């Protein structure tokens, strides 16, 4: 990824982070999020998960983008049911 792509990835992950926190704290409906964003989120997360891991490793911050990751894990739990 070049610098511009990395910045765009960070912006996308930041937005998902906000959504993850809002869902987690019942400020917005989980079902509403899934209805509008699930397929887009799944696509984006699959493309960005390696970037997330790389950023965590390079910064030493294991919690970086954790709210976005929380959404992914929450969706995965649904899939497992």
With beta carbons less than 8 A apart as the criterion, state whether 71 and 19 touch: yes
b/e 35-50 (16+ beta carbons within 10 angstroms → b): eeeeeebeebbeebee
Spell out the domain ranges in the chain.
Answer: 3-80
pTM of the predicted model as reported, rounded to 2 decimal places:
0.90
pLDDT band at 78 (very low <50, low <70, confident <90, very high): confident
pLDDT band at 27 (very low <50, low <70, confident <90, very high): very high
């Amino acid at each position: 990824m070049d610098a511009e792509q990395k910045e765009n990835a960070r912006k996308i992950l930041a937005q998902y982070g906000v959504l993850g926190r809002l869902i987690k704290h019942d400020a917005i409906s989980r079902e509403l999020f899934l209805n509008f964003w699930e397929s887009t989120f799944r696509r984006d997360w699959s493309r960005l998960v390696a970037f997330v891991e790389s950023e965590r490793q390079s910064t030493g911050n294991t919690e970086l983008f954790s709210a976005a990751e929380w959404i992914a894990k929450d969706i995965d739990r649904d899939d497992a049911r």
